[in-house]
């Protein structure tokens, strides 16, 4: 209806004519909250010109007041037009959240009415464990501590100078190779590990691999710097930018390395920026989100996706294309919702929760990939920890060693494709290269989008590749898994 | 993946250390496209400090390059946190459009597969017409021209001074009263008018009422101004702000009044701002949107809403509350989607289409109501033509006559509630006051939201009131319509 800021000036005094000109200056700023602020700011200006106008007689002013309202239109574009520069759509994000919560509430109510809750807690647990008395994935995670200790021990020896750089590098190569191979062998050979448990363990080991690689690099750079300083004390300007609280050999403690292992980053640093204190409200909100979204994903999987996947097996086996497309589009929506919820759950709720607990200051775990108008922008901004790691420890060192830009970029993409395949194929015990090909297909797609689509069309293309691309890969793996594991085993087919 | 702007500096020259400091200055600006621009802007600055550093020897610079990367974290909040000031979510809007188009495509494919298209063109036409040879709604719209001509003729007489202001006012009161009463009587008495046809005709007459009221006021203000000018030539400053191409009596032409009748605004003005030319691409895009969204709404209504409404009649009659709530939540989603599509269709596509055809310059048909954190902000910004009219011709004149602010605000709300009821009750031929009460309920709701909820929570409350509030009113009317019309007539029940 009608708000105070819009009408206040009129009742207080009749200074419409002067206000209109002041307002037209601030009109370009008008977006939501800023508009109100700028209206208030124009107050003093309007008051100033009011004092000038006081000479005019009362009657003519009263008339003026009406005449300036004779023209009340301005040449301007609609906010939703691409020609307007308005971009504030925070409300649309809230709308998505409200719709998600509401549709979940409706589903919940419907379930109670039908008296059939399809989410089965035992089935959820069975995704992680086959035998409740053997926890192979958890054991694997516990074993990983050995590799952390090896890295710390090696660094201490290197710092003391007991072993040479070459020996240190050899130990690291050995350690890092084992980190990647050991869990792979265990997951492939141990039949009691479920695909979900295996993927979890491999994920933990992959993260550890990236972290220890960064740990190695940064400590080596620190040693090189100390040597450079010892040689030429003139270059102290470089160190002054650091403002270190902890300097090189002092960081090689158990406490420091474990802080890094648990911190939500893949890039090691001697002095992480720390936040002032732990905000309990923030922590509790993130914890609530974490539990709520897990229940949300579970209900989407069991109430929505499993029935579709089950019904799409027959068309997939018979290669009935029109029916396959229909199922694929049907699967795309819940799959995409799960991916979005997973993104929020992992990159916002969980990482912020851990960061808040550890008072880790840098919360940039993602950037505004939702606005990305090119595929490239999406890959650069949706996963900042990995992007930062790739930049710092892979791409730039390659450039420094004289590799070309195109070669380095392709190498990064190739490594990324390798890890995607590693994290999917090994737990499923199937080597089909769908994930690898999905990653490599991004290169021609990125070229196409950048070449032919701009602005909102480019953004729509990025969304479309996310919504359609993923379920194709998922459906491929599910189909192959079904064909190899379930067709001859009716009990597993039943469980799926 | 990796983009040129991020890595260019490194390969060209090793000026990392200086760039980092320049970057940290611009980091606060970082939101989407601006980020890239600010990175580019920091270029010259970085280049300047590069020339200073040229004195340092090559070797130590190469080392520096690595050391500054030892610290790569910054104290900052996540973008989705409410603590961050980031607001650019244009991509989420595109996401909503992509999801809408995709789910529609899936529905279309599913229909073809099942070979049962539920959208029936004859049923659509029958919403508007009962008898294909009598077009009562269209006739009503044609008759409305009489009232336009009466208004123009009266204004001409007033301008010439043939009739006094008082007589002119009397003619206007008579004319405007008939505009509201005549179609009401016709719709209530003529059984061949369908509810949809009746609502359309009443909508056209209501718009005409508001337009002619504005026409009357502005012309009167113009006359008053001419008189004031004649009396005191000193107050020429008021007229100089106008820069009129057409001045007062010159605007009283048939061409001018019909331009105003077709223009997408309710506020009359002598010289509307005009756009340069008709952009054909823009026109065609709006036309495409208009046809696409009509088909979209039809498919939502027939494939989604009608089955739910049909199945919710029984619980509504039996007052089975848990089932009623479940149906209500189920109905809320398609109802809300239709409202959103309608909003875009009417306020963006159609109004922009008409404005582009007429080269009407002011395209502000709505403001960013999607970000509204109070109910008040929503009502002020979702329908700018009506809001502007209420301000200019109802609220401010009331204030000028000495009415209090609260009284004037309540009067505007009351008038708005009256028109809502008028546009719903008359076509349905049922006086239940649900729409009236729905509008009046906004007042305590607005107070509650403004008092207890802030920021994103307030925004979520506004969305919730839109998503839940509307279908309650719709369900009420549908229920009453069903009970009075269909229960004893099985053929209509079948059609519904």
Question: Over the stretch A453-492, which tens digit does the pLDDT of each residue have?
Answer: 888 889 999 999 988 888 888 878 877 887 777 665 544 4
Instruction: Give yes or no: A420 in active site.
Output: yes
DSSP H or E stretch at residue B242: none
| B297 touches B341 (CB < 8 A) | yes
A409-442 exposure pattern, b = at least 16 Cβ within 10 A, e = fewer:
bbebbeebbebbbbbbbbbbebebebbbebbbeb
Strand partners, A193: A129
Residue A14 has pLDDT above 80, yes or no: no
CA-based nearest residue to B244, from B219, B269, B263, B211: B269
Report d(CA B78, CA A367) in Å as an integer: 8
Query: Which of A69, A106, A329 faces B392 most closely, judged by CB atoms?
Result: A69
The answer to whether the CB atoms of A459 and B90 lie below 8 A apart is yes
pTM of the shown model:
0.74
Residues of chain B found within 8 Å of residue A456, distances taken between Cβ atoms: 90, 94
Identify the closest residue of chain A to B327 by CA–CA distance. Answer: A106
Identify the closest residue of chain B to A382 by CA–CA distance. Answer: B1
pLDDT at A3: 41
What value of ipTM does the predicted structure carry?
Answer: 0.72
Which of the following is catalytic: A73, A245, A348, A420? A420
At residue B274, φ and ψ (nearest 5 deg) are -115, 145
For tokens 């930049």, the residue is A391
| B483 touches B319 (CB < 8 A) | no
Which of the following is catalytic: B387, B393, B420, B479? B420
At residue A92, φ and ψ (nearest 5 deg) are -65, -35
Residue A450 has pLDDT above 80, yes or no: yes
pLDDT at B234: 52
pLDDT at B129: 67
The vertex-A87 CA angle with A85 and A89, nearest 5°, equals 155
Report d(CA B374, CA B391) in Å as an integer: 19
CA-based nearest residue to B313, from B130, B485, B120, B193: B485
CA-based nearest residue to B119, from B269, B301, B325: B301
Chain-centre distance of CA B112, in angstroms? 34
Q: How many CB atoms lie within 10 A of CB B453?
A: 16
For tokens 């479920």, the residue is A194
At residue A85, φ and ψ (nearest 5 deg) are -95, 15
Report d(CA A430, CA A383) in Å as an integer: 26
Where are chain A's structural domains? Answer: 119-226+246-272
- Residue A2: helix, strand or coil by DSSP? coil
Note the pLDDT tens digit of each residue in A81-127.
Answer: 877 778 888 888 888 888 888 877 777 777 666 655 555 667 777 77
Note the pLDDT tens digit of each residue in B451-471.
Answer: 898 888 899 999 999 888 888
**Which range, of A173-177, A307-311, B24-28, averages the lowest pLDDT?**
B24-28
Radius of gyration of chain B (CA): 30
Mean pLDDT of the B359-378 span: 91
Q: pLDDT: is B128 or A84 the higher one? A: A84
| B140 touches B200 (CB < 8 A) | no
**Which range, of A72-86, A333-347, B298-312, averages the lowest pLDDT?**
B298-312
| B318 touches B223 (CB < 8 A) | no
Radius of gyration of chain A (CA): 30
Identify the closest residue of chain B to A219 by CA–CA distance. Answer: B70
Nearest-CA distance B45 → chain A (Å): 18
Identify the closest residue of chain A to B468 by CA–CA distance. Answer: A102
Query: Which of B323, B405, B463 faces A98 most closely, judged by CB atoms?
Result: B463
Tokens read off for B314: 């029984």
**Residue B474: Cβ-neighbour burial (10 angstroms; 0-12, 13-18, 19+):** buried
pLDDT at B15: 37
Q: How far lies B325's CA from each of A39, A106, A302, A417, B5, in Å?
A: 43, 9, 24, 48, 54
| A32 touches B371 (CB < 8 A) | yes
The answer to whether the CB atoms of A98 and B467 lie below 8 A apart is yes
Contacts of A138 (CB under 8 A, 6+ apart): none
Q: How far lies A11's CA from each of A14, A20, A340, B379, B409, in Å?
A: 7, 15, 50, 22, 13
Task: For residue B360, give the DSSP letter.
Answer: B
Query: Which of A1, A322, A467 faces B98 most closely, judged by CB atoms?
Result: A467
Note the pLDDT tens digit of each residue in A149-196.
Answer: 999 999 999 999 899 999 999 999 999 999 999 999 999 988 888 888
The answer to whether the CB atoms of A238 and B275 lie below 8 A apart is no
Q: pLDDT: is B296 or A309 the higher one? A: B296
| B368 touches A32 (CB < 8 A) | yes
Whole-number mean pLDDT of chain A? 78
| A29 touches A38 (CB < 8 A) | yes
Q: Of A31-45, A311-325, B211-225, where does the model show the most confidence? A: B211-225
As a whole-number percent, the residues of chain A with pLDDT over 70 amount to 76
CA-based nearest residue to B224, from A387, A414, A307, A60: A60
Nearest-CA distance B136 → chain A (Å): 35
Residues of chain B found within 8 Å of residue A235, distances taken between Cβ atoms: 56, 60, 63-64
Report d(CA A162, CA A252) in Å as an integer: 15
> Model confidence at A48, in pLDDT bands (50, 70, 90)?
very low
Nearest-CA distance A485 → chain B (Å): 30
Query: Which of A11, A269, A366 faces B72 most closely, judged by CB atoms?
Result: A269
Nearest-CA distance B489 → chain A (Å): 32
Q: How many CB atoms lie within 10 A of CB A2?
A: 19
Torsion of CA A332, A337, A343, A348, to 10 degrees: 170
pLDDT at A348: 93
pLDDT at A434: 83
DSSP A284-305: HHHHHHHHHHHHHHHHHIIIII
For tokens 């192959």, the residue is A480
Q: pLDDT: is A361 or B117 the higher one? A: A361
As a whole-number percent, the residues of chain B with pLDDT over 70 amount to 76
Contacts of B115 (CB under 8 A, 6+ apart): none
Note the pLDDT tens digit of each residue in B160-172.
Answer: 989 999 999 999 9
């Amino acid at each position: 209806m009608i708000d105070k800021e819009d009408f206040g000036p009129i009742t207080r005094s009749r200074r419409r004519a002067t206000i209109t000109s002041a307002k037209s200056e601030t009109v370009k700023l008008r977006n939501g909250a800023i508009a109100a602020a700028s209206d208030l700011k124009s107050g003093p200006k309007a008051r100033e010109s009011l004092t000038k106008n006081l000479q005019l007689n009362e009657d003519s002013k009263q008339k003026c007041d009406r005449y300036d309202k004779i023209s009340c239109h301005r040449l301007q574009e609609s906010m939703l037009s691409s020609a307007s520069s308005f971009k504030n759509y925070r409300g649309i994000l809230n709308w998505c959240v409200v719709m998600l919560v509401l549709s979940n509430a409706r589903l919940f109510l419907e379930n109670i009415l039908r008296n059939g809750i399809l989410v089965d807690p035992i089935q959820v647990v069975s995704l992680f464990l086959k035998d409740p008395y053997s926890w192979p994935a958890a054991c694997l995670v516990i074993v990983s501590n050995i590799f952390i200790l090896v890295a710390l021990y090696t660094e201490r020896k290197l710092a003391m100078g007991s072993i040479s750089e070459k020996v240190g590098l050899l130990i690291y190569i050995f350690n890092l190779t084992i980190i990647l191979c050991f869990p792979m062998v265990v997951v492939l050979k141990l039949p009691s590990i479920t695909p979900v448990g295996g993927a979890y363990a491999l994920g933990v080991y992959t993260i550890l691999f990236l972290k220890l690689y960064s740990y190695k690099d940064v400590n080596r750079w620190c040693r090189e710097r100390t040597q450079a300083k010892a040689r030429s004390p003139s270059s102290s300007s470089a160190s002054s930018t650091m403002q270190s609280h902890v300097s090189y050999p002092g960081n090689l403690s158990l406490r420091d390395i474990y802080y890094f292992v648990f911190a939500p980053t893949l890039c090691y640093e001697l002095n992480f920026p720390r936040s002032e204190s732990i905000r309990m409200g923030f922590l509790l909100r993130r914890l609530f989100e974490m539990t709520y979204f897990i229940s949300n994903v579970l209900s989407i999987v069991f109430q929505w996706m499993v029935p579709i996947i089950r019904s799409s097996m027959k068309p997939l086996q018979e290669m009935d294309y029109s029916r396959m497309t229909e199922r694929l589009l049907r699967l795309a929506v819940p799959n995409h919702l799960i991916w979005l919820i997973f993104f929020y759950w992992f990159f916002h709720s969980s990482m912020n929760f851990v960061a808040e607990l550890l008072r880790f200051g840098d919360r940039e775990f993602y950037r505004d990939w939702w606005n990305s108008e090119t595929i490239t922008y999406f890959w650069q901004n949706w996963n900042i920890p990995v992007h930062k790691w790739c930049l710092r420890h892979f791409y730039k060192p390659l450039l420094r060693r004289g590799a070309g830009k195109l070669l380095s970029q392709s190498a990064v993409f190739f490594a990324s494709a390798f890890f995607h395949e590693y994290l999917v194929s090994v737990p499923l015990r199937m080597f089909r290269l769908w994930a690898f090909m999905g990653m490599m297909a991004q290169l021609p797609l990125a070229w196409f989008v950048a070449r032919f689509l701009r602005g909102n069309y480019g953004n729509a293309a990025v969304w479309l590749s996310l919504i359609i691309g993923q379920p194709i890969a998922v459906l491929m793996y599910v189909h192959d898994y079904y064909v190899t594991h379930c067709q001859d085993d009716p009990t597993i087919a039943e469980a799926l």
